[in-house]
Structure 1
Amino acid sequence: MITIERTFNAYLDEMHIITILLPFSYQQGRSSGFSLLSDVEEEFPVVILQNNPIEGAVKYTCRIDHDVEFGKQYWIVDEHGGKTDLQIGAVIRTSDFDEKFYYDGPLGISYSTEKTYFRLWAPTAAKVKLKLKGALEEDAELFPMERGERGVWSCGVSGDLDRFLYSFLVCINLEWKEAVDPYAVSSAMNGEYGAVVNLDNTKIKKPELPPLLQLTDAIIYETHIRDFTIHSGSGAQKKGLYMGAGETNTVGIDGKPTCLSYVKQLGVTHIEFLPVHDFEGVNEKSPKEDYNWGYNPLHFNVPEGSYSSDPLDPYSRIRELKALIQAVHSQGLRVIMDVVYNHVYIREHSSFEKIVPGYFFRHDQYGMPSNGTGVGNDIASERLMARKFIVDSVSYWMKEYQIDGFRFDLMGILDIETMNEVRRITESIDPAVIIIGEGWDLNTPIPEDRKASIRNQEKLPGIGQFNDWFRDSIKGSTFNLYDKGYALGNEHYYDAAKQVLAGSIGLEKKEKGIFLSPAQSVNYVESHDNHTLWDKILVCSENADLITQQKKHRLATVMVLLSQGIPFLHSGQEFFRTKGGNGNSYRAPDSINQLDWERKSRYFNNVEYIKGIISIRRSIPLFRLADAELIRNSMRFMDIKKPLIGYVLTSSDQNAECSHAAVIINPSAAEEEILLPDGDWDLIADEHTAGNSTIRKISTRLTMLPLSSYVLVCRK
């Protein structure tokens, strides 16, 4: 990269608008006229529309009638004979630019043993070169790339380039920058170069999975590749790696299943892995020295190398991640990939910014990068090529890795049209795909009605949203550690608890809800973020005895699993997962983040209880109704003493094995007697046991013990 010293600056900010900044230190910031000079010495008139003094300079807003050709060099000359290059400015953020350069074809590499083609979208570049080197070679060879339609540069290199490393050298505004291909599918160690690979040599056949007839059939179990097996008692051989997470028949110190085999037995339908795309924060040369959740994205289509057995081998990360996914599929489970398209690790260092400066990121009214994500940059998903990249990327992961769903980190940063296009394209690949995301309303400069946030859920059909109303009503505020929710004994959340149990659709009145469909409500009380539920209970119920704390925890988890919507569990939640009180463990050591498999053995009774509740949900369709009207027609709350909540679900299916199901929740410290609706009730979950077998028959009255939940059914 070279350093350019300019006496003054000129920017193309719209297709026919140039902004010129003359500092006071140069001709006192004055010039009565300017002209535009092409690289072949053609001169074009520039009309000054207005000039305004700004800090340290005079800003001239000018119009040109000449159509600037992108990829060619232009100069601005002032009345004094001063000269500066015309830089590509805010024009790249205009709709005219988007329409002119939108490209709907393939990007990245096309490999064959005879020749590999490289394609890069860089419409503002004057020159582009391909830098290519063998994996073990120090010296690189440069190949000029040819500019084609819509700003796509390409070149073909003969020979078998398998395992060759590559990058692009891009010249924009007279500066050369080196960047990794945004569409790279593998990389050198630590993502320093893209890597050419033959994906045909990594193919794995996807086994047939049990049908997923509706989104509310899903039960999601969230974990982190490293957390899942790194504990000494995990039973896995390849701890902390893709290969370890894919091991089956592992057992703990009690001789009972751990890891993937355990999750299969638990009864969930989907495993959600925290980001597995290439991220910053862990040095792949010594991966065990650092820890990171993975929300520092570098290369979106490249698997993270620190989870592979050999980060130096560009095939290792691909084959081992694919083998993990196949192992999950072999258990009859589906895989959800946590994706972070809302930002990059460092904007200035990202390939997007180096290749098309200013295009892929949002800027505020003053031209400064926006920061709704809180990490210094927001991806401008509304721009056509940014949207194309996101859609191309999720399509790639589904087709190449057989991913079954996506969890969008900070989805509220992205725009509605992009998310609906994601839903459309992924559903065309697999109708059973599940798309969920964090629809938080974040301060990013797009109109409120275009954000993919919870408040706009009616414009996002088929996309699930993490339900913070559910979370905070049941366990208490995430951001106030001492606030107790309904399950922790706070009656103030009584009415809210009833609404969220009904899928947050507004049971009596739609306006009381926040979703049009239960499939949009991802119900949870714990995730990788913030304190675990157990750690919160230890603080806000510190005077309670251990058994009482465990009962409160169980009650909250049962409410997650028996509410209408999509239940979401944080791995280890079923055995009271703790992070030692750490509320933000994104780079804490393994001792904090690891899934402690000895706790699974210690709290085996609670694990069995939660497993039983899961089996109830899966076997009784009434607990996973697919639409709001079905819920309104079938769900009735019982008239019982507050703060207890009881409700009955009635099936409209004349052939259903279970005609009615009832759930009664007692979050109080008192024993209460409940009068049941008429019917022959089978108790299938009480304070000790849960499952599909009848514990005992009950006709009219039920005694509820403190801090307990009961499930009853009428069978035909």
Structure 2
Amino acid sequence: MDTRKFYCYLDHFDELTIIVPLKNYRDNTVYTLIGNDELIELKIIQKHNIGTEVKLVCQFDAYIHLEMDYHIKSDEGETSELYTGKIVRTDLFDNIYHYKKNDLGFTYTKESTKFKVWTPVAKVVTLELVSPKGVVTTQSMIYQNLGVWRLVIDRDLEGYRYRYHVYVNGKTQILTDPYGIASNANAEYNYIVDLSKTYQMKHKASFSGHPSDAIIYELHVRDFTIDSTLNFKHPGQYLGLTEKNIKTKSGLPAGIDYLKSLGVTHVQLMPVFDFDGIDELHPNQLYNWGYNPRQYNVPSGWFSTDPNDPYARINELKQMIDTLHEYNINVVMDVVYNHVFDAEVFPFEKLVPGYAYHVDREGIYTNVSGCHNDLATHRKMVRKFIIDSVLYWTNEYKIDGFRFDLMGLIDTETMNELRQELHNLDEHLLVYGEGWKMYSSNTADRMAHMGNKTVIYTIGFFNDRFRETVKGATFFPEIKGYATGRLEEAPIVKEMLLGSAHNRFMFKYATQSVNYVECHDNRTFFDKCLHITEDISLIKKQQKLATSMVLLSQGVPFIHSGQEFYRTKQDDENSYRSGDEINKIDWSLYDENFDDVSYIQSIIELRKTSDNFKLKASSELDTSAEVIVLQSKSILYKLTDGDELIILFKPTELKETIIIPEDYRFFLSSSNLFQAIDAQTYEISDIGTYIFKK
């Protein structure tokens, strides 16, 4: 029970606040700050009545060592421990305690292991060690400098598990290591592992590094191999995506062989870091997409064969990535550095209360993310953590790119610095994210949203205007888009086809536009269309048209897994925890729609082998691309950079006649409902994409 007569908080390096309940308040009480063998005079400069309490703002002239104990004592003999308050959100705190070395966490050798943890405000930090035989020991860590506590243990600790006990602001809390890289099930302990003993990755996928050469395919590790009608040995696990020669009921390639046959260049993995919302020991009880960060640098144990084996999840994720690389498929990691699952449980708040998250004027966590907290990425040690984290994944797991969830909540300085660091490491890496403008205040000016021109041009953005224009309104499923029959969208579609970059329509360069009509969020294209029509044949034509537009536009094409064979989630608008029956890839849909998938494969191959889809700057678009909206609202799209192409996007079933220059010949179409009247004239009467080649 807290029996203190008053409470005190350090708000600046020369200012603190004393909160006194009215029943204990005396107007002439004198307070003294005691610590580091000093008695420090406090001068009350403000007094505020705040309901049932009185707030006293006091100034002092002394240097506070934040790692030391300080107390406030009244002239009546009452004392109260000085807690750290708003001081942790001052620029001076950020500057003084900015630790720049890259050795936080543990550093292992057979001879010794060094532990380092950053907490400038802790008074006591203790390391708890548990041997492989279950023997528990604790050792005190020593404060060094710049907020870092350190301990070296001179023996081989491989296989030991550990966590920290930290005394901050009047209480001792137990926490895992924010820089931890290995764990047992459900994030109970971190483990000391020898990374040199983990799976040795042998392969590297080839990629030019030019974003427009990428064709990105988003998938969830569990969803992709959990279909019980196929004979995966490791359904829903990392190793499921390493299994070769898996076939559908009709004998078509499934799993990783399907990805190879489809021809995509990049797989975007939905979160594979350690996340909450599931039980790793009972993997079939709960389901989650994974946007609940729990341990940023630890692979999820939910996809592992043994979540209590710290090596298993590391080895199996590495093997999965290496197998994708063997198939010449690059791997993009979906990362979530805008919020954590539980701010009170996550180590940041236990180590430095009030530092790592945005708070409002009342000191309450903001909730712009919709997840009850927003990481303050502009703070130097949060920024350092994020950059250290992506560099770790790149170096250790050979990740080929990063997709940033709610990137509009991350500041531009962090994103720009991160992008440059990754480029220095490997110029072939992709970086893109959700660039929604989520702040309405001045805070928006420093955030990495797509309207902020200070974001470096090598960072891409999901183009939601492309999605809304081509597919129709996401949150009003009955509202159509161009591909679903809203023909008045044609002038905007013209800009979308040009990467939203012609005359800087949205972006400086087309390579900044990630074009898509479907992703894991919201309804699938197929499910949305069922709100517009019950005609399944019509829906498939419209979806094939929309997918073709994604793949043939300037910019970066992005496909949601199963989109090419009309994936449904049974109209579930937000299936983040809806279970396998809703979220699984139903491989029978591939069997049913084999011809349509073959067409998409041909479109992908065309994009990969033609320079026409690599245009970047507005000047290139002027000279090598032309888009004409016909009276029928069909769109002619002419490309002349390399093999010259004319592409017709037709959104209606009305018969129309198209005249093509005589030196062009029919090349590929999504429908056979057309007729060549002569060498130049075609009569077309079906929704679809029609391609002519010179």
Measured against aligned partners, the alpha-carbon deviations of 1:230-265 in whole angstroms (never above 9, x if no partner) come to: 002344221010000121221111112101111111
| Change in CA separation of 1:13 and 1:421 when aligned onto 2, cut-off 3 Å | same
Match of 1:526 among 518, 524, 532: 518
| Change in CA separation of 1:80 and 1:541 when aligned onto 2, cut-off 3 Å | same
1:667 alignment partner AA? P
SS in 2 for 1:615: helix
Matched, 1:515 2:515: no
1:517 alignment partner AA? Y
Query: Matches of 1:136 and 1:547 in 2, distance apart?
Result: 63
Match of 2:67 among 39, 61, 71: 71
| Change in CA separation of 1:34 and 1:81 when aligned onto 2, cut-off 3 Å | same
Query: Matches of 2:477 and 2:308 in 1, distance apart?
Result: 43
1:365 Cα deviation after fit: 2.1
Matched, 1:128 2:125: yes
Matched, 1:552 2:548: no
Aligned partner of 2:682 in structure 1 is 702
- Conserved? CA contact 2:344–2:350, under 8 Å: yes
Aligned partner of 2:151 in structure 1 is 155
1:110 Cα deviation after fit: 0.7
Aligned partner of 1:324 in structure 2 is 320
Match of 1:17 among 9, 12, 15: 15
Measured against aligned partners, the alpha-carbon deviations of 1:277-316 in whole angstroms (never above 9, x if no partner) come to: 0011111111111111001110000000011111111000
| Change in CA separation of 1:8 and 1:409 when aligned onto 2, cut-off 3 Å | same
Query: Matches of 2:190 and 2:254 in 1, distance apart?
Result: 36
Matched, 1:713 2:693: yes
Aligned partner of 1:629 in structure 2 is 619
Measured against aligned partners, the alpha-carbon deviations of 1:615-641 in whole angstroms (never above 9, x if no partner) come to: 111111112223332122211123622
Query: Matches of 2:656 and 2:677 in 1, distance apart?
Result: 19
Matched, 1:190 2:190: no
Aligned partner of 1:673 in structure 2 is 657
| Change in CA separation of 1:438 and 1:275 when aligned onto 2, cut-off 3 Å | same
1:556 Cα deviation after fit: 0.8
Aligned partner of 1:580 in structure 2 is 570
- TM-score, normalised to structure 1's length? 0.94
Aligned partner of 1:539 in structure 2 is 531
1:6 Cα deviation after fit: 2.5
Query: Matches of 2:468 and 2:55 in 1, distance apart?
Result: 50
- Conserved? CA contact 1:640–1:674, under 8 Å: no
Matched, 1:179 2:169: no
1:128 alignment partner AA? V
Query: Matches of 1:174 and 1:589 in 2, distance apart?
Result: 42
Query: Matches of 1:429 and 1:301 in 2, distance apart?
Result: 18
| Residues 419-498 of structure 1: pairs in structure 2 closer than 5 A | 419-443=415-439, 447-498=443-494
Aligned partner of 1:165 in structure 2 is 161
Measured against aligned partners, the alpha-carbon deviations of 1:487-541 in whole angstroms (never above 9, x if no partner) come to: 0000232221111111011x3x43xx11111111110010010000000011122
Match of 1:292 among 281, 288, 293: 288
2:684 alignment partner AA? M
1:345 Cα deviation after fit: 0.6
Query: Matches of 2:237 and 2:6 in 1, distance apart?
Result: 53
| Change in CA separation of 1:49 and 1:444 when aligned onto 2, cut-off 3 Å | farther
Query: Matches of 1:25 and 1:234 in 2, distance apart?
Result: 71
SS in 1 for 2:451: helix
1:371 alignment partner AA? N
- Conserved? CA contact 2:201–2:318, under 8 Å: no
| Change in CA separation of 1:696 and 1:314 when aligned onto 2, cut-off 3 Å | farther
2:510 alignment partner AA? P
Match of 1:401 among 397, 404, 409: 397
How many residue pairs match? The answer is 692
| Residues 353-432 of structure 1: pairs in structure 2 closer than 5 A | 353-432=349-428
Aligned partner of 2:138 in structure 1 is 142
Match of 1:662 among 646, 654, 670: 646
- Conserved? CA contact 1:215–1:626, under 8 Å: no
Query: Matches of 2:306 and 2:76 in 1, distance apart?
Result: 61
- TM-score, normalised to structure 2's length? 0.97
SS in 2 for 1:37: strand
Query: Matches of 1:436 and 1:245 in 2, distance apart?
Result: 24
| Change in CA separation of 1:38 and 1:319 when aligned onto 2, cut-off 3 Å | same
Matched, 1:570 2:560: yes
Query: Matches of 1:180 and 1:92 in 2, distance apart?
Result: 21
Aligned partner of 2:667 in structure 1 is 684
Query: Matches of 1:247 and 1:318 in 2, distance apart?
Result: 18
Cα RMSD of the aligned pairs, angstroms, is 1.8
1:709 alignment partner AA? T
Aligned partner of 2:584 in structure 1 is 594
1:447 Cα deviation after fit: 1.8
Query: Matches of 1:294 and 1:136 in 2, distance apart?
Result: 32
- Conserved? CA contact 1:683–1:698, under 8 Å: no
- Conserved? CA contact 2:334–2:405, under 8 Å: yes
Aligned partner of 2:47 in structure 1 is 51
1:697 Cα deviation after fit: 11
1:696 Cα deviation after fit: 8.4
Q: Percent identity?
A: 39
Query: Matches of 2:57 and 2:151 in 1, distance apart?
Result: 39
- Conserved? CA contact 1:561–1:614, under 8 Å: yes
| Change in CA separation of 1:468 and 1:208 when aligned onto 2, cut-off 3 Å | same
1:699 Cα deviation after fit: 4.1
1:31 Cα deviation after fit: 4.0
Unaligned runs of 5+ in 2: none
Query: Matches of 1:187 and 1:629 in 2, distance apart?
Result: 52
1:64 alignment partner AA? F
Query: Matches of 2:440 and 2:228 in 1, distance apart?
Result: 43
Measured against aligned partners, the alpha-carbon deviations of 1:368-387 in whole angstroms (never above 9, x if no partner) come to: 11111111101111000000
- Conserved? CA contact 2:209–2:427, under 8 Å: no
| Change in CA separation of 1:522 and 1:63 when aligned onto 2, cut-off 3 Å | same
Query: Matches of 2:414 and 2:3 in 1, distance apart?
Result: 40
1:151 Cα deviation after fit: 1.2
- Conserved? CA contact 1:281–1:291, under 8 Å: yes
- Conserved? CA contact 2:297–2:389, under 8 Å: yes
| Residues 227-242 of structure 1: pairs in structure 2 closer than 5 A | 227-242=223-238
2:95 alignment partner AA? E
2:54 alignment partner AA? V
SS in 1 for 2:314: helix
1:80 Cα deviation after fit: 3.3
1:165 Cα deviation after fit: 0.7
Matched, 1:7 2:18: no
| Change in CA separation of 1:360 and 1:540 when aligned onto 2, cut-off 3 Å | same
2:633 alignment partner AA? P
SS in 1 for 2:529: helix
SS in 1 for 2:77: coil
